[in-house]
Amino acid sequence: MTSLSHAIGTVSMPPKWSVGYHQCRYSYDSSEKVLKVVRTFREKGIPCDVVWMDIDYMDGFRCFTFDSIRFPDPKSLVDDLHSIGCKAVWMLDPGIKKEKGFFVFDSGSKNDVWVQKADGSPFVGEVWPGDCVFPDFTSEKARAWWASLVKDFISNGVDGIWNDMNEPAVSKTVTKTMPESNIHRGDADIGGVQNHSYYHNVYGMLMTRSTYKGMEMANAAKRPFVLTRAGFIGSQRYAATWTGDNLSTWEHLHMSLPMILQLGLSGQPLSGPDIGGFGGNATPKLFGRWMGLGALFPFSRGHTETGSIDHEPWSFGEECEEVCRLALLRRYRLLPHIYTLFYHSHTKGIPVAAPVFFADPQDPELRKVETSFLLGPLLVCASTLPNKGAHECAHKLPKGIWLPFDFADSHPDLPLLYLQGGAILPVGLPIKHVGEASLEDDLSLIIALNENGTYLHIF
């Protein structure tokens, strides 16, 4: 993994708040609704650091705009969120509404930054706003233009940016993307002028590169946070990713773990699924189990589609709410460990979440394990099955001593935790958001003795 990271780069060190829990849906459709959701997290004592705005915050789905009725003062909204310890992430898609008088379209046309059809005219495809044009992120000119828009956008109090639909997605086409015959006027050092089939796989990554740059321009002292749906090898230098629009099913819950591990092995350690499932309605048991596992993933975000039932932790009854509270309090106690793992990933290219066979590559049986993972080299997280709680499942562990522990939060819907004998695990206080912690806070040490009754390792 270290050799791979030398070739493709490592994950950018994420801002501390981004390692907390994120709450999203398509869509929280007003400033009042956003504040109500975050205040409910605080009232119920459930940890949360970030709330997300999907496309309904925009004026007619026009990127870089705000709906004047539902989100009349985004800066004031963000100030209110910051006052209760919550950050805000806002979506930006590549599809720009083709409309004279819309400042983004007019500016892009003046600067000649659009992807072209084979005949040299701007390509027009349909996305959320209707007819759209698309920035040609293969060109430095287009990337600089986009970065300048992002820089100005940040002044509204934006903490992070979500680049969605950036495959790029185009509606009412067989391929769901733009024609392969489209022309990109790429920079010479990445291939020059080529058709879309040449650049398709890197389009999303180049968009996030530009978004990341714009956030750096807005405030060089802050670490940018960008989430992307589309990516390529090396995307981790600019953005986190998630596993896309999954479904609220047990199958997709259990698929999420190998997907996260595969992304980590590909150089992208900052990833996670839509907890609870994006499509459809979760059940209380499914949502609680998914939160139990998802609270231990590198990127932890709940999300759901428009028209679904509420998917906040308190939406499924008291038992599920308590499971979610325990799961997220567990994550926040582990944040000193998790953030240290991100530092090692940033400096050495090591995955944050890894397959259990990393602990013993010589054991072929460990390569079959799909319900457990390593959160760092010394900690195994062993999850549940649809019809069994964590304590009822048989878990294959690496050789040696692995001692179970918890935070007095044992519950059938939460994964089991095993610490390797001889290891020391530093944990923090049970906080509700990262802003509650300080560098002066005491840490607790969980120590697992080895066969000699001693301890040797801290990570």
Q: Can you give the pLDDT at residue 391?
A: 80
Q: Can you give the pLDDT at residue 387?
A: 78
Q: Can you give the pLDDT at residue 6?
A: 85
Q: Can you give the pLDDT at residue 231?
A: 96
Pairwise CA distance, residues 193 & 187, whole Å: 8
Considering the candidates 49, 54, 136, 164, report the single residue annotated as catalytic. Answer: 164
Considering the candidates 93, 136, 167, 322, report the single residue annotated as catalytic. Answer: 167
Instruction: Reduce the DSSP state of residue 443 to 3 states and report it.
Output: coil
Model pTM score:
0.97
Note if 436 is an active site residue.
Answer: no
Q: Can you give the pLDDT at residue 384?
A: 83
Q: Domain spans of the chain?
A: 2-336, 350-458
How is 292-323 classified by DSSP, letter by letter? HHHTTSSSEEE---TTSPP-SGGGG-HHHHHH
Task: Give every CB contact of residue 182 below 8 A, 6+ residues apart in sequence.
Answer: 115, 116, 117, 118, 123, 195, 196
Note if 167 is an active site residue.
Answer: yes
Considering the candidates 245, 360, 363, 436, report the single residue annotated as catalytic. Answer: 245
Pairwise CA distance, residues 173 & 122, whole Å: 17
Q: Is domain 2-336 given the CATH code 3.20.20.210 in the classification?
A: no
Q: Can you give the pLDDT at residue 11?
A: 98
Token pair recorded at residue 78: 């963000």
The rounded average pLDDT for each run of 10 residues, N- to C-terminus, in the chain (459 residues) is 90 98 97 99 99 98 98 98 99 99 99 98 98 99 99 97 98 96 98 98 99 98 98 98 97 97 97 98 98 98 98 98 99 98 97 97 95 96 84 90 96 97 96 95 95 81
Fold classified for 350-458: Immunoglobulin-like (2.60.40)
